[in-house]
Structure 1
Amino acid sequence: MNNPFIFAPGNITVHMVGIGGISMSGLAEILMHRGIKVTGSDLHESDMTNKLKNMGAVIFPSHDASNISGQNLVVYSAAVPQNNPELVEARNKGIPVMERAELLGVIMDHFQQCIAVSGTHGKTTTTSMISQVMLEGGLDPTIHVGGMLDTIGGNTRIGSSSWFIAEACEYKDSFLKFRPSLAVVLNIDADHLDYFRDIDHIRSSFESFLSNVRNPGTIILNFDDPQTRLLSKSLTRSFVSYGLNASDADWTSEDISFENGCASLSVCHKKTSWGRIKLSVPGTHNISNALACIAACHSMGIARTSIIKGLEGYKGTHRRLEDKGMKNGIRVMDDYAHHPTEIQASLSAARALAAGHLICVFQPHTYTRTYELLDDFSRAFALADTVVVTDIYAAREKDNGLINARTITEGINKNTGNAVYVSSFDEIVRFLDENAQTGDLVITMGAGDVYRVGELYLSFAGSP
């Protein structure tokens, strides 16, 4: 690679723009473990930035050219604009600049066996499942996951073996920087349409990703997903398939039952009984994620007993159908779903857990996604009794004036008539206090900061 020095301990310093992000913070931890000095900048103080400070990182509370003072490399995420003053200053000073995904790819190249989990939906959960099984199987992996996993006490674990596992995000073709030895494709759906032209463009990107898999290497594909199945027809190398409803897949399931929303299932490998598993996370979508995990871990040579024990011990990742607490007999959960397909899957799981009404508090994520997928969002909430829609979380975008939360509320009401727009989090808390009843389930949903609504509601003392 062009920057082999980044793993050389000594007087090497890497500066990370937006160091508090879920991925950037983990990469900083990996670099520091390798003896690299780390500086960074972030506008928001958080548990992650405080942890890195305690490890010795120097973190600035603003993005400023003065933060660049002789570092050897500057790393930024895809969400950072090119006119960021730190990037401009680094280039002016001739300091190499590298995008986050390229750094992750360089790190991957230092491991003999690396797993990359891709797909529009389910990456964090499936990566976490596989990680838990790898730990159970004694592989001692280095783990880099896009969520907080209690098993490893955060989003990153430093192992001492040659195994590495990470999520592979398709946004802006980021995962094309990776050369994994094992790649999983969970699904291919229309998303990130601020970058991709259409579904064909997205599928082509996944095809390019798979062309980077090392040889020998392993490819795992979901045959339930039509776009992934279509992709398989263009591959010139062998692959392993799985599917809930695909009888021609290598890994399938049968005899599925549910208890408290969680599935028990018999797993078959090439039409032969392999074993029975009882999951500890709810939802039919997690059966599919579990099959992906089994297919991947079996390909790694992990023992069946370790796969079963690891999967059955997986209790979930934060912000993925996460239980937040109970209040007056009302259950409060939170989920990261921010795409129509994810919303439907998570509501299906939540519906099975709700004794009474299901109330969904939804915060749309990015103007582009909300605008491009408006019709799909409008049809996604049929399983909820009430949908409280709040303002769009802009993330990396600016308001273009084409879409707002009232528009999506109107779209939902044209289809299912169950939505109400409420602007502020405090007003949503009061709405829940006045309308939620014992036995109801309240689920906050979105990739922004909507989880705070559940926390505020649980601590709300009520009207005077």
Structure 2
Amino acid sequence: MTIYHFVGIKGTGMSGLAQILHDAGETVQGSDVEKTFFTEEALKQKSIPIYPFSKSNIKPGLTVIAGNAFKDDHEEIVEAKTLGLPIYRYHEFLGEWLSQYTSIAVTGAHGKTSTTGLLAHVLDQTYSISYLIGDGTGLGHANSEYFVFEACEYRRHFLAYKPDYAIMTNIDFDHPDYFTSVDDVFNAFQEMADQVKKGIVACGDDEYLQKIQAKVPVLYYGFEESNDFQAKHISEVASGTQFDVFVRNNFYETFTIPTYGKHSVLNALAVIALCHYEGMQAEDIRHLATFGGVKRRFSEKKKSNQIIIDDYAHHPKEIEATIDAIRKKYPNRQVTAIFQPHTYTRTKMFLQEFANALKLADFVYLCDIFGSARELAGKLSIEDLQALVPNSKLLTLDTTDELKDNKSGVLVFMGAGDIQKYQIAYEEIG
């Protein structure tokens, strides 16, 4: 019997993949740091064992799946090599596993987690599917027709996949610790496009995606007339956002989604295009309206008269999109942005862009930069960003009570590091 051991099982992709293998009847265990992550709860619910990192976890008979955050000199990976065990990197294993399904990769600089979750939700109402979402959620069925998964471009990891379909939401410069320019990012997506077997669904409003060359059909979606799938007559309604979809300039259907902002419409349009191409009926695609969202993407709760939102936004364009969605949903409330930059390289590269995006909020609090294990801190500090955002303040775990000042406002905690500890500290204040 094969036992799969995950090195870094609390990672978002790793957690989801571990759940998929567990659901498919495999024996799964893993290890990680003892710090608590939001991905743990689902693993615990499925009784998947999680051990502290130790080379003693590695025993003969294991198949090891190593998270991409851990280098080859990690003690468990070294021990696995010493014992001659099969070792896969996360993306390598996933690339082999998904070959048994009709696979749909969702990729892009922004919006891929929300789009993956939305597509999985809609398909799951009609078909038996498996899915792997970048918020740490995974579900497997042995008899699945479709496998929906998030495919990350970082370090070109998505080139381990040869999916039947790919949704491409956008191309933008990010991960400056790896990519040299937006053209370098484009080249990676072009390589990915060359590996798709049946069809690509791409945002036609994105100037870079318009240049993608492919051997398979490319369906474009967006707001512009030139797209195969176009959204028109967009309006905010009590339950979310409503819009009409035109397929090659012919009216198709009116849809409602329970979210706000143009980026949400584009995500939904990508799902509609893929499902339409696969022959699904409009009444089945309308399950868009019942989507409950994914973790850490505009996750809301109330504290007294305040709305508290937790969001993964960690790029200037994502911050803009999140604040835009808040303005549309809560037009009469003031917005307090609490932002923790993620990685020194990204913060340095987009310092002015971050400042410009944060100025869209009424009040701004900044938390210390969350550095990555893959980089050196350098000379940059949070004060460099603060200097570019007038009237912004620095926030520590001891000063979160200041957030009470926006009494009936929206507080949005944004970042890809451990921003949630500031939110928790604030929520624990009476």
TM-score normalised by the chain length of structure 1: 0.88
Correspondence for 1:190 among 150, 157, 173: 173
Task: Tell me by how many angstroms 1:454 deviates.
Answer: 3.0
Please point out which of 83, 102, 107 is paired with 2:73. Answer: 83
Aligned-residue offset at 1:355: 2.1
1:65 touches 1:86 (CA, 8 Å); kept in 2? yes
Q: Which residue of 2 aligns with 1:93?
A: 83
Letter in 2 for 1:79: A
Per the alignment, in what secondary structure is the counterpart of residue 265 of structure 1? strand
Confirm or deny: 8 A CA contact 1:261 1:283 kept in the other structure: no
Q: CA deviation at 1:396?
A: 3.2
Per-residue deviation, residues 261-304 of structure 1 (Å, max 9, x unmatched): 93211110000000111221111210111111100111121111
SS in 1 for 2:96: helix
Look up the match of 1:61: 52
User: Structure 1 residues 260 and 35 mapped into 2: Cα distance closer, same or farther (>3 Å)?
Assistant: closer
Mapping 1:12-411, distance limit 5 Å: 12-44=2-34, 45=36, 48-49=39-40, 51-52=42-43, 55=46, 57-62=48-53, 64-111=54-101, 113-136=102-125, 138-147=126-135, 155-159=137-141, 160-214=143-197, 217-231=198-212, 234-244=213-223, 246-259=224-237, 262-308=240-286, 310-327=287-304, 329-352=305-328, 353-411=330-388
Read off the aligned partner of 2:50 and give its amino acid letter.
I
Contact 1:266–1:274 (8 Å) recurs in 2: yes
For each residue in 1:222-260, what CA deviation from the matched residue of structure 2 results, as whole angstroms up to 9, or x when unmatched?
0111111122xx33432111011x211100011111135
Matched residue SS, 2:401: helix
**1:452 to partner: Cα distance:** 3.4
Q: Which amino acid counterpart does residue 65 of structure 2 have in structure 1?
A: V
Distance 2:95 2:176 in 1: 24
Match of residue 419 from structure 1: 392
Query: Structure 1 residue 51: deviation in Å?
Result: 5.0
Quote the residue 1:445 is aligned against: 414
CA distance in 1: counterparts of 2:208 and 2:94, whole angstroms: 27
Q: Deviations over 1:377-404 (max 9, x none)?
A: 1221221011101011124344422322
The alpha-carbon deviation at position 315 of structure 1 amounts to: 3.0
* Backbone CA RMSD of aligned residues: 1.9
Structure 2 SS opposite 1:318: coil
Instruction: Letter of the 1:93 partner, please give it.
Output: L
| CA 1:458–1:392: 2 relative to 1, 3 Å | same
CA contact (8 A) 1:263 1:284 kept: no
State the SS of the aligned residue for 1:224. Answer: coil
Code of the aligned partner of 2:155: K
- Who is 1:6 aligned against? none
Letter in 2 for 1:296: L
Cα deviation digits, residues 161-207 of structure 1 (max 9, x gap): 22110001001111111111110100010001111111111111111
Q: Secondary structure at the match of 2:132?
A: strand
Question: Within 2, Cα distance between the matches of 1:256 and 1:34?
Answer: 41
Q: Would the aligned equivalents of 2:39 and 2:135 in 1 still touch at CA under 8 Å?
A: no
Distance 1:298 1:335 in 2: 30
**Matched residue type, 2:106:** V
Unaligned runs of 5+ in 1: 1-10, 149-154
Contact 1:20 1:46 in 2 (8 A): yes
Question: In 2, Cα distance between the equivalents of 1:363 and 1:264?
Answer: 32
The TM-score, its normalising length taken from structure 2, stands at 0.94
Identity of aligned residues (%): 32
Give the Å deviation of 1:348: 0.9
Structure 1's 261 and 161: CA in aligned 2 closer, same or farther, altered over 3 A?
Answer: closer
Question: Aligned equivalents of 1:261 and 1:345: distance in 2?
Answer: 19
Amino acid at match of 2:207: P
- Higher mean C-alpha displacement, 52-61 vs 289-298: 52-61
8 Å CA contact 1:324–1:455 kept in 2: the answer is no
Give the match for residue 4 of structure 1: none
1:48, CA displacement in angstroms?
4.7
The residue identity in structure 2 corresponding to 1:425 is L
The 1:376/1:266 distance shift into structure 2, 3 A limit, reads same
Distance 1:219 1:87 in 2: 36
Indicate how the Cα distance of structure 1 residues 222 and 47 shifts in structure 2: closer, same or farther if over 3 A, else same.
Answer: closer
**Residues in 2 aligned to 1:122 and 1:365: alpha-carbon distance in whole angstroms:** 17
SS in 1 for 2:155: helix
> Higher mean Cα deviation, 272-281 or 317-326?
317-326
